[in-house]
Amino acid sequence: MNKDILVKLLQQRQFKAVRSILDVMNEVDIASLLSELDGKELALAFRLIPKDKAAEVFANMDSSMQTYLVEIFSEKELKELLDDLYMDDTVDLLEELPANLVNRILDTVSAADRALINQLLNYPEDSAGSIMTTEYVDIRESMTVAQAMAHIKETGIHKETIYTCYVTDKRKLIGIVSAKDLMTTDDNVQIKDLMETEIISVATHTDKEAVAQLFTKYDFLAIPVLDTGGRMVGIVTFDDAMDVMVEEATEDITKMAAINPSEKTYFETPVLIHAKNRIPWLLILMFTSVITGTIITKYEDAFAAVPLLVAFIPMLMDTGGNCGAQSSTLIIRGIALSQIRFADLFRVMFKEFRISLVVGSVLAVSNGVRILIQYQDTSLAVVIALSLMGTIIMAKLIGCILPLCASRIHLDPALMASPLITTLVDIFSILIYFQIATTLFHL
Amino acid sequence: MNKDILVKLLQQRQFKAVRSILDVMNEVDIASLLSELDGKELALAFRLIPKDKAAEVFANMDSSMQTYLVEIFSEKELKELLDDLYMDDTVDLLEELPANLVNRILDTVSAADRALINQLLNYPEDSAGSIMTTEYVDIRESMTVAQAMAHIKETGIHKETIYTCYVTDKRKLIGIVSAKDLMTTDDNVQIKDLMETEIISVATHTDKEAVAQLFTKYDFLAIPVLDTGGRMVGIVTFDDAMDVMVEEATEDITKMAAINPSEKTYFETPVLIHAKNRIPWLLILMFTSVITGTIITKYEDAFAAVPLLVAFIPMLMDTGGNCGAQSSTLIIRGIALSQIRFADLFRVMFKEFRISLVVGSVLAVSNGVRILIQYQDTSLAVVIALSLMGTIIMAKLIGCILPLCASRIHLDPALMASPLITTLVDIFSILIYFQIATTLFHL
C-alpha cells in the first residue's frame, strides 16, 4: 500500500479496509509508511494497527513521530503501549523524549519497571547495559524439557527472544539451552543434562562494539549480560548487535575522513553541527600543512632557477598522500577486524616496504618516461622518478606505522587515516623532492 | 585451553582429557585453537572433537586447514563430515579446494547431493544463491501445531535453522511460521491459521548486499530464496548476512582509498597482488594531477614576482582535499545506508553550500589573521582568505555532486571518494588561487 491510498482510505473513513491491509503488512514497512503521514492522519492510522503489531511498529518509528504519539495518547493507550514495548525500546524512547513526557511515562509504569528503567538509563552510553533488554526466558536446571516448553508457552510471548533460554540459580547464570535443543529432545530429559555450561557472556559495562564483535565471531542469536556480581541482568539480541555494527562502521568511516562522528543521519544533522564536526580537524590539518609551505620557501632559490620544479609539487604530494592513505586504510580496517595487531608491526612494515618497491618502480618509470618524452630532459626525469620512489616508500611506511602505534596507546586508529597521513606525507615528500632536486641540479 | 597445554596433552596421549575439554569448548574457539597446530597434531586433535561438534568446527577453519584435513581423511571420515556439514559450508569448501579433492568429495556424496552442489556452485559469486543453504524446515498448511512440532523434532537437528519454518505447497512458498509462534500456540491450531502469508523473499540472483540490507531492515533470522519459477530453493541465514555486511563495509572502505578490493585478509594477500590492487588508481590519479602542475606553470611569472605564493599551495590543496573528502565520505555512506538518494541532489548541494560558508569563514579568518600577524601583509592575507573560501565552497560541492551522480549512472559511489575528489579539487583550487592572486596583486 502506498501513502496516497492510505490517506484516501482514511479520509473515506474505510477503517476496516485499512485495518485488514495493515494486518498483513510487516511492522517495519508500516512504520515507514506511517512516517509519510502528518499528525492527525498518523494518530488515526496508528490506532488502526492490530494490537499485536502496534508496539513493534512504534519501536521502528523515528523519535519525532514517537514523541508526537506519546503526547496525544490517552493514559490507557500509553499503558497498553508500554506493556507491549520491550524494555530496550522503552529505554531508547525515553532517551529521546523531552523531560515532561519522560515523567509522564515513568508515572504510567509500575514501580518495579520504573526502578528497572532508571537502572538501564544509568548505564554508560556505549555499554552493553545500554542496549540490553530484560525480557528473556529464565528456566531452572531441575525442569524437564516438557516443563521448560510449558514455561515458554506460558511466558514466551512477552520475551524478546525465546530461542536462547537461560538456566539460572539464585540469579546466577549456570547454563544455556537453545530452543532447537528443546524442540529436538525428548520431553522427559532434564535441563541440567541438556544445558551447555561453557557460557560466553558480557558485563553491563562491556563496550557495545566488543559485544557486536562477539556476535560476528560466534553467530549468536543473543548474549547474556551479567552485572559486576555475576548475576544475570539481561540479554543483547542479534538485531541490536547488527545495528551497532552498522553504526560503528559509519563512525569509523566518518573519523577516517577527519570528521567528528554524529549519531544522527546526514539530513537530521543541522548545518551548524555539520560545520562544528568538520572544523576542528580542518584547522589542525590546515596549520600543519603550513609547515610544508615553510619548507618550500627555504628552497625559493631552487625554483627561481628551475621554475618547472614547482609544477611537480601537486603530483608528488597527491601520489604520496594516496599511497599513504592506501596503506593506512588497509591497516585500520585490519585492526578493526582484529586481523592485525601491534605485535605485527615489523611484519607489516616489511610487507609495505616490498609493496612500495613494486608500486614505486611502476610509477617512477612511467612518469619518468613521460617527462623524458615531454621535456627531453634526463636530469628532470631522474629527479622526479627518484623523488616518486622515495615519497612512495616513505608514505607507505608512515601509513602503516601510525595506525598501529595509535592502537598501541589506545588511540582510535581511524584517526590516523588519510587526511592526517596526507598532511604528514606532504612534509616529507617536499623534503625528499627538493633534497634530490638541489643535489642533482647542483642548486 | 591454550595451544601449549593441548600439544602437551596430545604428546602424552591423554586423549580422554583432550576430548572432555573440547567437549565444553565453543566450536569457533576450537577452530581457532586448532589453527595453531601443525599437520600431524591437527589431524590427531580434530579426530578427538566430539562428533556433534566436528562439522561446525570444520566449517570455521580456514581453507588451507580444510584442504589438509580433506586430503588425509579416510573415505568413511569424509562421508561422516559431509553428512553433517550444511550445504552452504560444503559449497564454500568446494570453492576453495584443488580440483582433485573436489572430485573426491563429489564422488563421496549421493547423486542427489551432487546435483544440488553443482547447481549451487553455478550461482553467480555475489548472488543470494551463492550464500544460501538448502537445509530448512518445510511444513504443510494442513498440519496442526503439534504435527509441525513433531516434524521438527524428527528432522530439525539437521536443519541450519528451525526458528523460521516454511509452509510450501508443490514447492511454492505459501506461508511462514516462526518457532516462537509454534511454541506459544495451542497444539491443535492449524498451521494455515497461524502462518503469515505476506512474505518477504529474495531471488537466487539477488545481489547478496541487497539481501544483507533486508536483514538489517527487518531483523530477520532467515530469508527464503526463490528460483525464477517462484519455487523455494533455500534460505539465507542471519549469520551469513552479517558476514556479507562486514565484507561489504571492508570493500567500500577499500574502494574509498583507491584500492581494488581483495577477498583475502591483509596478510593472506601476497605483495604482488597488493601492488596490483593499488597501482591502477595511483597511475590514473598521478597523471590527473599533472594537470594541476601544468596550470601552475602557466602562472610562472606570478610566483617569480611573489615567490611566497608557492608556499601556500600545499595548504590550499590539502584543505580543499580534506573538505571535499569530508563531504564525499558522508554522502557515500548516506547512499550506502539508503539515507540519501540522487533525488536529494539539490537539497544536499544547498546544505553543503551553507556548511561550506560556515567552515570557509572560520578557516579563512583564522588563517588570514595568522598571515597578517606573521607577514604584516594585508593583500596576502586577503588573497589567502578569499582563496580558502572559494576552494572550500568548490570542494564541498564537488564532494557531494560526484558520488550522487555516480549513483545515478549505477557506478559505485565509493569510487568517488577522497583520492579522486582531492585530485579534482587540486585543479580548481590552484585555478581559484592564482586567479585571485594575479588579480589582487595586479600580476
Helix residue spans in B184-237 (DSSP H): 191-194, 208-218
pLDDT score for B177: 95
State the CB neighbour count (10 A cutoff) for residue B343: 9
**What whole-number distance in Å separates Cα of residue A67 and Cα of residue B387?**
45
Chain B residues 310-339 with CB within 8 Å of chain A: 310-315, 317-319, 321-323, 325-326, 328-331, 333-334, 337, 339
Chain A closest-CA separation from residue B9 CA (Å)? 21
Amino acid in position A70: V
- For residue A351, give Cα distances in angstroms to B115, B125, B256, B266: 43, 29, 22, 10
Residues in chain B with CB shorter than 8 Å from the CB of A275 are 355, 358-359, 362
Spatial CA neighbour of B26 closest among B53, B58, B7: B53
pLDDT score for B206: 94
Three-state DSSP state, B340: coil
- What is the torsional sign of CA A261, A267, A272, A278? positive
Amino acid in position B393: I
| Residue A144 grid cell | 524437564
Residues in chain B with CB shorter than 8 Å from the CB of A333 are 250, 253-254
Q: Tell me: pLDDT of B366 over 90.
A: yes
pLDDT score for B410: 87
Three-state DSSP state, A245: helix
**What whole-number distance in Å separates Cα of residue B182 and Cα of residue B171?**
22
- Report which of residues B349 and A308 the model is more confident about: B349
* Pairing between β-strand B161-169 and β-strand B136-139 as defined by DSSP bridges: parallel
**Cβ neighbours of residue A14 closer than 8 Å, sequence gap 6 or more:** none
- Report which of residues B393 and B37 the model is more confident about: B393
Q: Which of A183, A291, A361, A427 to mutate to test the interface with B (most CBs of B within 10 A)?
A: A183
Chain A closest-CA separation from residue B103 CA (Å)? 31
pLDDT score for A157: 82
pLDDT per residue of chain A (443 residues) written in tens, 0 to 9: 788 888 888 888 888 888 888 888 888 999 988 888 888 888 888 999 988 889 989 999 988 889 889 888 888 888 888 888 888 888 888 888 888 888 888 888 888 888 888 888 889 888 999 899 989 999 999 999 999 999 999 888 888 889 999 999 999 999 999 999 999 999 999 999 999 998 999 999 999 989 998 998 898 999 999 998 889 999 999 989 988 888 888 888 888 888 888 888 898 899 999 999 999 998 998 988 888 888 988 888 888 888 888 889 999 999 999 999 999 999 999 998 888 999 999 999 999 999 999 999 999 999 999 999 999 999 999 999 999 999 999 999 999 999 999 999 988 888 888 788 888 899 999 999 999 999 988 87
Please say whether the beta carbons of A239 and B219 come within 8 A: yes
Q: Do B310 and A317 touch (CB under 8 A)?
A: no
Of the listed ranges A173-182, B141-150, B160-169, B412-421, the least confidently predicted one is B412-421
**Cβ neighbours of residue B349 closer than 8 Å, sequence gap 6 or more:** B397, B400, B401
Q: Which residue of A has its CA nearest to B311?
A: A293
pLDDT score for A109: 87
Q: Tell me: pLDDT of B139 over 80.
A: yes
Spatial CA neighbour of A289 closest among B125, B194, B250, B363: B363
Chain A residues 217-276 with CB within 8 Å of chain B: 217-219, 221, 238-239, 242-243, 245-246, 249-250, 252-254, 256-259, 265-267, 271-272, 274-275
**What whole-number distance in Å separates Cα of residue A292 and Cα of residue A46?**
60
Q: Per-residue pLDDT averaged across B115-125, rounded? A: 87
Q: What is the DSSP string of B383-406?
A: HHHHHHHHHHHHHHHHHHHHHHHH
pLDDT score for B387: 96
Q: Do A259 and B197 touch (CB under 8 A)?
A: no
Please say whether the beta carbons of B159 and B139 come within 8 A: no
What value does the CA radius of gyration of chain B take, rounded to a whole number of Å? Answer: 30
Element (H, E) at A89: helix A87-96
Q: Do B318 and A423 touch (CB under 8 A)?
A: yes
pLDDT score for A264: 84
**What whole-number distance in Å separates Cα of residue A266 and Cα of residue A350?**
40
Angle at alpha carbon of residue A42, lines to A37 and A44, rounded to 5° = 135
End-to-end distance of chain B based on CA atoms, in angstroms?
76
Q: Percent of chain B scored above 90 by pLDDT? A: 45
